[in-house]
Chains A and B, each alone.
Chain A
C-alpha cells in the first residue's frame, strides 16, 4: 500500500435518467487499487457491479447517464478526458473482458484482424509486426494451433477458446488495469476453471491490476486479494478474502454465504435470502438491505449507515456498512 495507487475512485455515482424515473445504479462507490492487485466485486445481478466497471472507462451511453465523483487511473483524471484522450486510455491503459465472448467479438472479423486492429491503433506499428504480436498473444493465452486460429472467425471457436481470444485482445496493448465483467459466467464449469486459472496466472505474470466482477463467490475467492460486496449500488462490506468469507460482518454477505453451494458439507441446508433486491429508482432512506434483513432494528431504516472500518489487522482494513456488525453470525439461520 506504500506505492501510489493505480486506481483511485472517490464517491462514484451513476444515475440512469429517463422520462419515467431516475435509476440510482451506483451510489457513492470509493476504492483504491495498487498495481498488481486484484479487487473482486461480488454481488447479484442489478447490484451495480457491471455499471461500476463501465463507468471506470466511461463506456456508458452519455446521453442517458449522469456520472459524478472522481476517477483517477494511472494519474489521469478520467472524468475530464476528451473523447480522443478517452480512446487512448481505453484498450491501452485499461482493457475489458466481457461475460459473453460470442456477442462481445465482432462476428464478421477474424480473431487475428481484431487483435491486429487494436495493436495498430494504439501502438502505431505496421500490420506485419502487429500480426506477429497477435500470434504471440494467442500463444500467451494458450490457444492451441494459434497460427491457424488467427484466421478463424469467432463462430468457428468453442466458448473457451473465444474467451481466450477475447483475453488476448484485451492484453494486446499491455494494459495496467484489466476489468473483467463476469468472464467465466457464460462458460461450462470445466472451462470456467481453466479461464480463471489462466487469468490469475496472466495477472501475476504481467503484474496487472484487475477488477473482477462476479456473482460467484467461489470465483471471487480464487482470484481476489480483496473483496467488495455490492448491494443496491453500494459497497456493503469490504476486506481481505479471509475476512469477508470467513468472518462476514454484514448480514447480506452472510446471506450470500448461506445461499451458495461452495465449500459447504454435503447435506447442509442452503438458505436463500428472503425477498428481492430493492427498486433502484426508489431506494429506502436507511440501509437498503434492512427490508430483507433478519437482524434489522428500527435504527436501520432511519439513516444510511456509513461504510466504516471495524478491523485493521489484515492486509486491507475490514469495512462494513452495518450498524451492528457484532450481531452478524449470531443467528444460525435466517428465518424464511
Chain B
C-alpha cells in the first residue's frame, strides 16, 4: 500500500509539469501584448523598458523556465493591475474558495448520498419518485441562474441575506461570516448534490439486483445490515463521482463567485481575464489545475482503500 501511494504521488509530478506548460502556453498564445492592454498609448521606448523589467522581451521557453522556477519558490510575480504579489493574492482567494467549496461539498454530498441511496433502496416508492424528479431538476438548472434567483428572493425581496462579498468578520465561525456564505454554498451545492444522488441511486439499484444480496438475506441478516453491505459496495463508484464534483467545486465556481462577488479564485480569475492581468491569470489557472491533479490523486488512493478488487501491486 505504501509503495502504491508513493508511486501514485510520483506520477503526479510529470502531470503537474505538463499542466504548467499548458497553462503558460495558453496564456501566451492569445494575441496581443499583456503590457499594451494595461498601459494603453505610451511611447515605444518606455514600453520596451517595461517589457524588459517584466521579462517579456525574452524568448518564450526562457520565460517559462524563469516563471516556473520562481513559482516553485512561491514568487509568482506581481499583479499588473494592483501591483500586489500574486502568491499572496492567490492564497487568500484559494482559502475563500476552499471555504465555500468544502461547505458546498459537505452539504451536497451528505444530502445527495443519503437520499440517492434511500431512493435506490426503495425503488418505485414515493421517495424514489420525489428524489428522481428533484435530481433531474438539480442537474438541469444552470447554477448561475440559481444563484441570481437566490439573490433576488433572499437578498432583494426578503432581505434576509447579504447579496455580495464575504463580509468583514474576523472569524469564519461567526454568524456574520456564515450569513455571507449561505447563498453561495446553496447555489454551488445543487448540482453536485443531484449528481451524487443520481449516481448513488443507480448504483444501489444495480447492487440490489446482484445475487449476493439474496445470499445475504438467506443468511438471515437484518435489513439494516444488508443496507450497510449495499452502501459499502456502492462506495467506490460514489466516491469517484464525489471527487470529480469536489474538483469542479474548487475549480469551476467562476460564475457563482462572480454573481456573489465572493473573493475566491473564480472571481479572481474573472477579474484577471478582463484586465489581461497575465501573472494573476497564470497563477490562478495553475493553482486550479493543481487542485484537480491533487484531488484525483486523493480519490485514486481512497478508491484502492474502498474497493479491495483494485490491485495495489
Contacts and interface: CB of A to CB of B under 8 A. Distances in A.
Contacts of B214: 54, 59, 104
Contacts, number: 77
Contact of B233 (A83, A89, A90, A108): A108
Contacts of A96: 215, 218
A122 interface: yes
Contact of B219 (A54, A91, A153, A155): A91
B267 to A, nearest CB: 42
A91 B307 CA distance: 27
A88 B221 CA distance: 8
B220 A100 contact: no
B215 A104 contact: yes
Contacts of A89: 220
B98 to A, nearest CB: 31
Nearest to A98: B215
Given A108-B233, A109-B232, A153-B309, A90 B218 contact: yes
A108 B308 contact: yes
A169 interface: yes
Contacts of A153: 308-309
B44 interface: no
A103 interface: yes
B222 interface: yes
B218 A57 contact: yes
Contact of B309 (A54, A105, A155): A155
A118 interface: yes
A238 to B, nearest CB: 25
Contact of B220 (A107, A122, A166): A122
A297 B165 CA distance: 91
Interface in B269-313: 306-309
B221 A121 contact: yes
Contact of A103 (B211, B216, B217, B222): B211
B8 interface: no
Contacts of B232: 106, 108-109
Contacts of B170: none
Nearest to B308: A153
Contacts of B216: 106
Contacts of B222: 87, 121
Interface range, A side: 20 to 34
A83 B216 CA distance: 14
B308 to A, nearest CB: 5
Contacts of B229: 106, 109
A108 B215 contact: no
Nearest to A153: B308
Nearest to B233: A108
B220 A121 contact: yes
A92 interface: yes
B210 interface: yes
A86 B217 CA distance: 10
A90 B220 contact: yes
Interface string B234-258: 0110000000000000000000000
B233 A95 contact: no
Contacts of A57: 218
B190 to A, nearest CB: 31
A90 B212 contact: no
B225 interface: yes
Contacts of B215: 96, 98, 104-106, 166
B210 to A, nearest CB: 7
A117 interface: yes
B211 A90 contact: no
A92 B214 CA distance: 16
Contacts of A106: 212, 215-216, 229, 232-233
B218 A103 contact: no
A155 B212 CA distance: 14
Nearest to A107: B309
Contacts of A173: 220
A92 B220 contact: yes
Nearest to A93: B220
Contacts of A108: 232-233, 235-236, 306-309
Interface of B: 210-212, 214-223, 225, 229, 232-233, 235-236, 306-309
Interface of A: 54, 57, 59, 83, 86-92, 95-96, 98, 100, 103-109, 117-118, 121-122, 153, 155, 166, 169-170, 173
24 contacts: A59-B214, A83-B223, A87-B221, A88-B220, A90-B218, A90-B220, A91-B218, A91-B219, A91-B220, A95-B218, A98-B211, A103-B211, A104-B215, A107-B309, A108-B232, A108-B236, A108-B308, A109-B229, A118-B220, A121-B219, A121-B222, A166-B215, A170-B219, A173-B220
Given A106-B215, A107-B212, 10 more contacts: A57-B218, A96-B218, A104-B214, A108-B232, A108-B235, A117-B221, A121-B220, A155-B309, A166-B215, A170-B219
